[in-house]
Amino acid sequence: MSSEKPVMIEFRDVHKYYGDYHALRGINATIRAGEFFSLLGPSGCGKTTLLRTIAGFEGISSGAVMIGGEDMADVPANQRPTNMVFQSYAIFPHLTVAENVGFGLRKDPRTKAEKAKAVDEALGMVGLTGYGARAAHALSGGQRQRVALARALILKPKVLLLDEPLSALDKKMREQMQVELIKLQRQVGITFILVTHDQEEALVMSDRIAVMFEGQIAQLADPETLYRRPASRKVADFIGTMNFLPAKILSEAGGKVEVEAQGFGKMTLNADQVMSAEGAAGGATVGFRPETLTILFDGQATAEQHCDAVVEEVVYYGDMTYYDIKIQGCDSAVRLSMRNVFGRPVLEIGTKTRVAWSAGALVLFR
Amino acid sequence: MAQSAASQPSLPARAAPKRRSEAVNGLLMVSPTALYALLLLAAPLVTIFTYSFLTDGYLTVELTPTLGSYVEAWTNEVYRVVMLRSLGVAMAVTLVTVVLAFPIAYYVSFYVDPSRKSLWLFLITIPFWTSYLIRVFLWKVILGFNGVVNSGLMGLGLIDEPLTFLLYNTNSIVITLAHAYAPFAILPIFVALEKIDRSFLEAGRDLGESSFVTFLRVTLPLAMPGVISAVMIVFIPTIGDYVTPHLVGGPEGKMVANLVQVLYLKLDNYPLGSALAVSSMLLVGLVLMMAAMQLAIFGYVFKRIAGTTPLILAIFTALAAAQALLLLVVVLWLITDSAVLTVSLGAALHAVALVALRRKRSAL
Amino acid sequence: MKGGWFRIYAYGFLLFLYAPILLLPIFAFNDGAIVAFPLAGFTTKWFEQLWVEPALHQALKNSLIIAVSASILSTCLGIFAARASTRYNFPLRGGIIGMIMLPLVLPEIILAIALLVVLLGIGIPLSIYTVILGHVLVCTPFSIAVLTAAFQSLDKSLEEAAYDLGETPASTFRLIILPLVTPGIISSLLMTFTISLDEFLMAFFLAGTEPTLPVYIFSQFRFPKSVPVVLALGTVLVVASIILLTIAEYFRRRGIAKTGGKDTGGFL
């Protein structure tokens, strides 16, 4: 478990002002050694600013940033045990690949041959063996990314900071690099902190994710908890797709909440399913992910709860089909997704069907 | 956790970072250049500004403050004619240069292949960097009595004897200066045109506008910042040009700079020379300011024309007309003489226009 | 045809722009003492006379000393200002840079008399040194224009990356920034050299008894018989400045290509 590992980074009530603008509003969090940690949020939420306070490129207005138990207030960026992979990669265009990778070794006391060996090792680690003599400006986007990684990792930092490192790559390349980054992180065992606005990327890669809105951490959790039990409507809205149905709270007793949701009827939810309604207007709602609803094809039986519905829209994705369905008794349609298993038909608009659901997959926002 | 953080004594100190601030770094970095400009540009400019208010003594400048130099500069027929001529030449040069430059900038920006744009710009700028004096002198050769134009026209049998209105008058000054300042006008307009998102134009065409209307409604307004800088960068220096009037202007073509040179180097009358220099800059400033006001008011009327009431529209049209009238009055004053009336009328009109514009802007 | 009438107009305009420069060699090689048509035959004697004019040689020497000093000084000042304005936000930035760039628009006569009055007032005798002072003032804005483009195309994260990898601000400047803006610096040196070599009015007011090349040329215009020699000299100067500017342009473009920036074209 990650909680057994020592604390690598600790934010203590970090505030950051740009003039009157309050960019970071009291960040408190700990990141453990060897963790793959993501800062996720929409643009302008402060995630990059927070990352740059770790690197030392941004000072903080109050609070403290600790790395390895040491307050970083008086440690400039060039003396911190962190290295960064920049969004633009910041490959030095006038140097070769090897000179770029070996840039940080300039003051290293090792011999030239030893340094060259370290450069080769670093290039091998990112799959660029033999590229050392190439001019940096002749590289493709993916190769630049790898050079930036090798250049940062060669210094064996305690923490590697990645500022939207995959945003400039195309979809295929991005997915490939996601997997490679995970493997690389396991291999070197360094703490990785990734900034991204792509929730899928964060879910795929991270051990833990901090979701940020407007300079604050809205939820800090592992990907599964974040996805299944979003702490607020806002987080739920930001991560994946979630359906919301108006609900009425009937009674609360002994940690259980009895709720009546539109279309679904009465149900009993556990305390861990009750979340904040922050970010939503109006009363309480129940939320559920598209894949937690299942269409019951003709004759299929279920032990779960179910209700009648009509298909209103069909979006075919190849591996998946998304349906917008109207559950009987509901004001608006909800979205559900079905995997296109072989032999399973794709329903047409207007089809009357039944859908199964389970109270355990629901979340109540109030 | 929270308690241990609160107990750290160093926390409040961190509010003031120990590193030098960006502002200090920036000021330190710019200081050598800024200091140079301050000592050798700003200070001298302030000095001649001060001189213009002092009294001219024999070979010295006396420290008695006076407006005498300005009175002399603005009332003596000799100086007033020259100032008026300089203003007229500068305005004509600006108009000719900008009008001639726009199609070139448009061509290079819209029709030239992107890979060849730099080459075109380079070709356009080269003449500007090569021997200014000799270029001006060659215009004398081109426009002169036995010049290229005259011998060419006579060779073609179009004229029987050389044209004499080509050289040694304001025409030749305007032609020569328009030639010299062409790159200065082309480049800013080109930069502005380059910034226009080509999809705007396609959108204009797509919405059914003709290409000419698209040009008027989309391209021209978006190119205005470039046109404005072109006007400034041509208008301000040309009013003070020395070489061109000296070489191709003839005895009737002297401009402010020639007078300033004579007053300074030959007559040793620093206050009057300074007053003339300051006055010419004031004149430039006044004309530019009025042009800017006109543009602002017309632009405002143009933008608001859809959702505004007839009354407001009428007020702004009236203001624009008043501005135009003011310009006319200033020019008239330069020719006739009724300083007091003009200045008070001008100041009043400007004040009214400004206040009204502010009010309406915040109201709407 | 692409551009239609615009294209024809553009070529016509280029002809207008180049007309004086094209005429220059025609009269420089014309075997006639009067600069007018019709032409009188081919000669190189005006060029030969350039070798035997001691006053011209002195003027050339003065001009070269001034141009070399002014280009180095103004480029140094340009580096400071361009770096400051592209990298830092500081109070009054617009005003300070505006003041430094002022000579770009202000009539030269005003700069020249202002400087003259102050120099004479302090009691500094006019010499090539005073011309250098004036030329630095005129050249610096152009240098800043070229160098700002060079510094602007530098990605700020390059600096941060070097800093992040353990370098100090000083070594970052030496190892990263300087190599990347070197083409811009060379371009600025060549351009300011050309401007200073060609500048007349400042030199006319500030040179005292040590004329520069343009001042010498200006004085020769008064004597019709020396005009053909001046045109021969002009031809040499035009060829020289076109070569210098072409090299400057080459370095400017290479600088932009090196830092991966987009060429926005032009010197200004």
- Same structural domain for residues A238 and A140? no
- Same structural domain for residues A195 and A223? yes
Find the farthest-apart pair of alpha carbons in chain C and give their distance in angstroms, rounded.
73
Cβ contact (<8 Å) for B29 and C84? yes
Chains touching C, CB cut-off 8 Å, 3+ pairs:
A, B
**Per the structure, how many domains does chain A have?**
2
Indicate the average pLDDT of chain A: 89
The residue out of A165, A198, A228 marking a domain boundary is A228
- Same structural domain for residues A311 and A199? no
CA distance B114 to chain A (A): 22
CA distance B84 to chain C (A): 17
- Same structural domain for residues A297 and A163? no
- Per residue in C149-164, pLDDT tens? 888 888 889 999 999 9
- Per residue in B54-75, pLDDT tens? 887 766 777 778 888 888 888 8
Candidate from B100, B118, B264 with C-beta closest to C265:
B118
Cβ contact (<8 Å) for B130 and C115? no
- Per residue in A41-57, pLDDT tens? 998 899 999 999 999 99
**Per the structure, how many domains does chain B have?**
1
Domain, as residue range, for A332: 230-366
- Same structural domain for residues A243 and A131? no
Report chain C residues whose CB lies below 8 A from the CB of B148: 23, 37
Q: How many CB atoms lie within 10 A of CB B230?
A: 27
Cβ contact (<8 Å) for A12 and B19? no
CA distance A202 to chain B (A): 28
Q: Which residue in chain C is spatially nearest to B178 when comparing CA positions?
A: C17
- Locate the domains of chain C by residue range: 1-43, 56-258
Chains touching B, CB cut-off 8 Å, 3+ pairs:
A, C
CA distance C102 to chain A (A): 31
Chains touching A, CB cut-off 8 Å, 3+ pairs:
B, C
The number of residues making up chain A comes to: 366
Cα gap A366→A361, rounded to integer Å: 17
Is A213 in contact with A54 (CB distance < 8 Å)? Answer: no
What's the one-letter identity of residue B22? E
Task: Supply the pLDDT for residue B67.
Answer: 83
Pull the structure tokens for residue A17: 């002002």
CA distance A85 to chain B (A): 24
Selected residues 62-121 of chain C with any CB under 8 Å from a CB in chain B? 76-78, 80-81, 83-85, 87-91, 93, 96-97, 99-100, 102-111, 113-118, 121
Residue C249: which of C173, C146, C135 has the closest Cα? C146
Phi and psi at A12, nearest 5°, equal -115, 105
- Same structural domain for residues A150 and A67? yes
Q: Does B169 touch chain C (CB under 8 A)?
A: no
Sign of CA dihedral A46, A49, A50, A51: positive
Report chain A residues whose CB lies below 8 A from the CB of C160: 55, 57, 77, 84, 86, 90
- Per residue in B104-163, pLDDT tens? 999 998 888 888 888 888 888 888 777 788 888 888 888 877 777 887 788 777 777 777
Cβ contact (<8 Å) for C157 and A88? yes
CATH code for C56-258? 1.10.3720.10
Selected residues 319-338 of chain B with any CB under 8 Å from a CB in chain C? none
Residue B54: which of B45, B62, B43, B44 has the closest Cα? B62
Task: Supply the pLDDT for residue A335.
Answer: 92
Q: Burial of B26 by CB count in 10 Å (0-12 exposed, 13-18 middle, 19+ buried)?
A: buried
- Per residue in A78-137, pLDDT tens? 899 999 999 988 999 888 999 999 999 988 888 899 999 999 999 998 989 989 898 888
Percent of chain B with pLDDT over 90: 9
CA distance C250 to chain A (A): 17
- Per residue in A17-76, pLDDT tens? 988 889 999 999 999 999 999 999 998 899 999 999 999 998 899 999 999 988 998 898
- Per residue in C179-237, pLDDT tens? 888 888 988 998 899 889 989 999 999 988 889 999 999 998 888 888 888 888 888 88
Task: Supply the pLDDT for residue C74.
Answer: 96
CA atoms within 13 A on the CB side of A296: 16
CA distance C134 to chain A (A): 36
Q: Is residue B157 part of a domain?
A: yes
- Same structural domain for residues A273 and A335? yes
**Helix, strand or coil for residue A42?**
coil
Is C5 in contact with C209 (CB distance < 8 Å)? Answer: no
Q: Is residue B225 part of a domain?
A: yes
Q: Does B239 touch chain C (CB under 8 A)?
A: yes
Query: How many CB pairs below 8 Å do chains A and C form together?
Result: 59
Contacts of A343 (CB under 8 A, 6+ apart): none
Cβ contact (<8 Å) for B129 and C245? yes
Q: Which residue in chain A is spatially nearest to C254 when comparing CA positions?
A: A94
The residue out of A228, A253, A281 marking a domain boundary is A228
Mutate which of A72, A85, A86 to test chain C, going by most C C-beta atoms within 10 A?
Answer: A86
Report chain A residues whose CB lies below 8 A from the CB of B17: 59
Contacts of A42 (CB under 8 A, 6+ apart): A197, A213, A238
Report chain B residues whose CB lies below 8 A from the CB of A18: none
Give the domain CATH number at B99: 1.10.3720.10
Candidate from A12, A59, A74 with C-beta closest to B5:
A12
Task: Supply the pLDDT for residue C33.
Answer: 75
- Same structural domain for residues A306 and A353? yes
pLDDT at C147 exceeding the cut of 50: yes
- Same structural domain for residues A243 and A192? no
Is A150 in contact with A125 (CB distance < 8 Å)? Answer: yes
Pull the structure tokens for residue C32: 């006639």
pLDDT at B218 exceeding the cut of 80: no
Give the domain CATH number at A238: 2.40.50.140
Give the domain CATH number at A60: 3.40.50.300
Pull the structure tokens for residue B171: 């025409």
pLDDT at B359 exceeding the cut of 80: no
Candidate from C163, C176, C179 with C-beta closest to A78:
C163
Domain, as residue range, for B190: 73-272
Indicate the average pLDDT of chain C: 86
Q: Does B2 touch chain A (CB under 8 A)?
A: yes
- Same structural domain for residues A114 and A72? yes
Q: Does B355 touch chain A (CB under 8 A)?
A: no
Cβ contact (<8 Å) for C87 and B27? no
Contacts of A48 (CB under 8 A, 6+ apart): A163, A164, A195
Q: Is residue B296 part of a domain?
A: no
Q: Where are the beta strands (DSSP E) in B120-229?
A: none
- Same structural domain for residues A104 and A169? yes
pLDDT band at B329; cut points 50, 70, 90? low
- Same structural domain for residues A220 and A314? no
- Per residue in C41-95, pLDDT tens? 888 888 888 888 888 899 999 999 999 999 999 999 999 999 999 888 888 888 8
